[in-house]
């Protein structure tokens, strides 16, 4: 159901007793999300690669916020983190990298595909039986420029291009969320899989290209982007609203979904390709070694 009015963090209600994991919560959208959840009374686990920054955020939130190290670019770290979690109501797959120079993860994956998609795929698979309510996975409006190259997802034979690589990773995020929903429905699970995207928001995700594009994005961000607080609203709504059902994609309701308040938006035709989504799932299991255990109702 689409919100019948402009939904904001003030509409979170009382989240006392609810437990959330937010990946990448040491800065940007993740930090805003963690602060909003903690401010509403939730217990928040900040899953961060940079635990020093995470600790600073957690201290500002209060005693219900805790930090644990998670490096999504290292499957050993993902497994270690998952082993420490007993139960959680909501997992928010928020962390990501954007348009970085060509690098590989600890396991040899292209950094954007490995961090944004494979790391979260593995994390969700390892935690799925411990999540009681829903999984929210962040995509991007730039998923529309992506294509899933199942024969070479990690740029072992193709020439690396940072923006198409980012688009592939964000398309993979969205396809994963939708495919997870279909698989949950097939076994009658009450667990929800929801996708969200922030529109164009000012965060430190921009400015990591290590090229002239950093300057261009900094200027564009100041002139055109909405605040991180506004950009976090779709994931907050997706993670907390009782009106959200599994399989939805939540984004801003403004022009071209670049800004404004959360609403239901539509995935691209590529994101709705079930055959590719199923093949991507199988490829992701193969690459990560993580297979999802059945999650019943």
- Positions marked catalytic: 166
**DSSP, res 160:** P
CA distances from 85 to 89, 142, 265 (A): 11, 32, 32
Residue 93 and residue 82 in contact, taking contact as beta carbons nearer than 8 Å:
no
3-state helix, strand, coil in the chain (%, to 5): 45, 15, 40
Give the other-Cβ count within 10 Å of 293's Cβ. Answer: 10
Scanning the structure block, which residue is given the tokens 């390709």? 273
The residue among 165, 190, 195, 192 whose CA lies nearest residue 177 is: 195
Query: Which residues make beta-bridge pairs with 41?
Result: none
CA distances from 235 to 18, 58, 101, 114, 253 (A): 16, 19, 27, 21, 13
The residue among 27, 32, 19 whose CA lies nearest residue 232 is: 32
């Amino acid at each position: 159901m689409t919100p019948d009015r402009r939904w904001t963090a003030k509409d979170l209600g009382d989240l006392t007793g609810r437990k959330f994991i937010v990946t990448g919560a040491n800065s940007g959208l993740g930090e805003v999300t963690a602060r909003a959840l903690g401010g509403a009374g939730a217990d928040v686990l900040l899953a961060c690669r940079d635990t020093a920054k995470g600790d600073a955020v957690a201290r500002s939130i209060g005693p219900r916020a805790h930090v644990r190290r998670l490096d999504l670019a290292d499957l050993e770290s993902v497994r270690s983190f998952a082993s420490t979690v007993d139960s959680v109501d909501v997992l928010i797959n928020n962390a990501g990298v954007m348009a970085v120079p060509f690098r590989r993860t600890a396991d040899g994956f292209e950094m954007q595909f490995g961090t944004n998609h494979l790391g979260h795929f593995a994390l969700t698979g390892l935690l799925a039986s411990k999540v009681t309510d829903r999984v929210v996975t962040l995509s991007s409006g730039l998923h529309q420029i992506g294509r899933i190259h199942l024969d070479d997802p990690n740029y072992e034979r193709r020439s690396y291009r940072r923006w198409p690589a980012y688009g592939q990773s964000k398309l993979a995020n969205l396809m994963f969320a939708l495919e997870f929903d279909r698989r949950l429905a097939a076994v009658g699970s009450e667990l929800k899989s929801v996708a969200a995207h922030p529109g164009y928001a000012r965060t430190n995700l921009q400015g990591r290209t290590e090229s002239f594009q950093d300057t261009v994005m900094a200027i564009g961000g100041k002139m055109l982007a909405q605040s991180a607080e506004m950009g976090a609203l779709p994931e907050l709504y997706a993670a907390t609203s009782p009106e959200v059902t599994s399989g939805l994609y939540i984004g801003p309701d403004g022009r071209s979904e670049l800004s404004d308040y959360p609403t239901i938006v539509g995935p691209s035709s590529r994101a709705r390709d079930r055959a590719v989504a199923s093949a991507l799932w199988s490829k992701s299991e193969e690459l990560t070694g993580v297979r999802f255990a059945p999650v019943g109702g």
